Structure 1
Amino acid sequence: MTSTLIDAERTDILDALAKHRHFLRFTVRDLTDEQAGLHTTVSELCLGGLIKHVTAVERNWATFIVEGAAAAPDFESLTEEQIADWGKEFQMQPGDTLAAILDAYAAVAAKTDQLVRELPDLGVSHELPKAPWFEPGARWTARRTLMHIMTETAQHSGHADIIRESLDGAKSMG
């Protein structure tokens, strides 16, 4: 019985991740590399940059599930230059292509999905990395971390909808 519940939970997690990833990818359908790099709102966000960011977020948090906070940078010690470099992941850089960005996202998603299927215990937890936005000593389970990945993906899918609609009127829904 317990095994059945665990399998159902893993299936639910995989289904939710797939749904939110689909909507994010759907926002860039039929776009050129140039269009994926356009800033269509007052924000510095662009569609290609959002997908690059979500890819990095998912990769980093999946690594956290396995390795803990040691895999994350010490956010409290980052220099202004390091923060500026980090911000570049929100942008299309020279040489970036939408196809390559989507391929990288698919590869990270496949690794995360494999982790969800194979991790012995979704209740395994690690102390969060040191960062001004985390309570000192707080811990997240693998389950909680996967929910965070889903939340990030869903939130940025919404941002992508606004950017895409501003670009050419296309909508993901409605």
Structure 2
Amino acid sequence: MTSTDQHRSGELADLLSTLQRHRGFLRQTVTGLDDEQAARRSTVSELCLGGLIKHVASMELRWARFMVGGAVAMRSEPVDWVAQFRMQEGETLAGLLDEFDRVAGEFDALVATLDLDTAHPLPEAPWFEPGATWTVRRVLLHVLAEIAQHAGHADILRESIDGAKTMG
């Protein structure tokens, strides 16, 4: 193994470990909740805890497609931007967590097979810099930041439901 391979495996291990840690923080915020609590909008925001779990799984799926096939693959399935943040009739917290765990496992397994320097142009969207290209490494950093941000959102939502402080 070359020093570059060792650096990459160390870098990849660090990125995946940090990703798993922040997923764990998000998951911890729903521990002990029932479906009604997970679906409750506990602030003026449209967000609910089950919706955040659902959104993160959906977001990881889209970025996994991007890392392999670029913007076209990322947009290969339609996204319901409203419904992904809410628990729908018939959805359960247990079911959303099962999907969250399944997607996380597949995402991590996929990333372990990719070169962190592989890059694709981003899709056109108002929130992306026009013409920008992201590497797999940059996608991992983005996914990590988004999960960490949503874990913070979830902590506030959980505290407003029952006073539990999951992160502090």
Hey, what does 2:21 align to over in structure 1?
19
Counterpart in the other structure of 1:152: 146
Give me the whole-angstrom Cα distance separating, in 1, the residues matched to 2:141 and 2:103.
Answer: 16
Greater Cα shift, 88-97 or 109-118: 109-118
* 2:27 paired with 1:32: no
2:86 is the counterpart of 1:91: yes
Cα pair 2:25 2:167 within 8 Å, conserved: no
Q: Which runs of no fewer than 5 residues in structure 2 stay unpaired?
A: none
Map of 1:103 onto structure 2: 98
Secondary structure at the counterpart of residue 153 of structure 1:
helix
Q: Percent identity?
A: 56
Equivalent residue runs for 1:38-77 within 5 Å: 38-73=40-75
Shift of the alpha carbon at 1:72?
A: 2.9
Q: Deviation digits for residues 50-93 of structure 1, max 9, x if unmatched? A: 1101111111011100010102339xxxxxxx88x321110010
1:116 aligns with 2:114: no
Distance in 2 of aligned mates of 1:135 and 1:8: 30
Partner of 2:166: 172
Number of residue pairs aligned between Structure 1 and Structure 2: 165
Q: Which residue of 2 aligns with 1:3?
A: 5
Distance 2:42 2:126 in 1: 31
CA contact (8 A) 2:62 2:75 kept: no
State the shift of 1:116 in Å. Answer: 2.0
AA in 2 matched with 1:42: V
Q: After TM superposition, what 4+ stretches of structure 1 lie above 3 angstroms from structure 2?
A: none
The whole-number CA distance in structure 1 between the counterparts of 2:73 and 2:111 is 18
Length-normalised TM-score, structure 2: 0.94
SS in 2 for 1:94: coil
Matched residue of 1:68: which SS?
helix
1:51 partner amino acid: I
* CA positional deviation for 1:173: 2.5
Partner SS for 2:157? helix
8 Å CA contact retained: 2:54, 2:96: yes
For residues 94-122 of structure 1, the C-alpha deviation after alignment (integer angstroms, 9 at most, x for no partner) is 00000110010111100111122111x11
Q: Counterpart of 1:134?
A: 128
